[in-house]
Structure 1
Amino acid sequence: MAKSKAKKLRDKQVREGMRNPENSRGTYALANLTTKTTKTKKEKLNQLYKKERQSRYGGDQENVVLYLLYLKSA
């Protein structure tokens, strides 16, 4: 892989005896902060339960329409 222009400049400065900015970087910059975990069986079932529950009952608008139809027919 090719070196970037900035990397070449840093290498040149190190060869000439100047300070290397890579040495002053903290450990936080090098840490991989993304930790991905697979969902457990319980989490998958809970997600499916909530998804089905929302689609089954819908929003409040459907209940209002049914209530109004009931009032008109009575």
Structure 2
Amino acid sequence: MAISQAKKARMKRVREGKLDPAVHRSSFATLDLRTKRTKTKQEKLNQKKYKPSYSNAEQDSLYFLFI
């Protein structure tokens, strides 16, 4: 596979005796911090399947009339 332009530039800097940018990277840069998990049975039961209907919202609202 081909080498990216950024990697070529980094390799050139190292050849020229300059500091490698990878040295400044944090140890967390190489970690995959995402965790993937499936929902539990309780989470599946508690999730909302549909948006709330607006007909119930109209019954709870108040109307003000200014004259």
Please, what TM-score do these two structures have when normalized by structure 1? 0.60
Tell whether 2:34 aligns with 1:59.
Answer: no
Calculate percent identity across the aligned residue pairs: 53
User: How do 1:34-49 residues align onto structure 2 when only pairs under 5 Å count?
Assistant: 34-47=34-47
Runs of 4+ aligned structure 1 residues displaced above 3 Å come to none
Give the 3-state SS of the residue equivalent to 1:51 in structure 2: coil
Looking at structure 2, the residues matched to 6 and 25 of structure 1 have their Cα atoms a distance apart, in angstroms, of 15
More helix by share: 1
For 1:26, the equivalent position in structure 2 comes to 26
Paired letter, 1:46: N
Q: How many residues align?
A: 60
For 2:10, the equivalent position in structure 1 comes to 10
What is the Cα deviation at residue 58 of structure 1?
5.2
Q: Deviations over 1:25-59 (max 9, x none)?
A: 01122221221211011100111xx436x45x853
Larger radius of gyration: 1
Q: Which runs of 5+ in 1 are unaligned?
A: 65-74
Aligned-residue CA RMSD (Å): 2.6
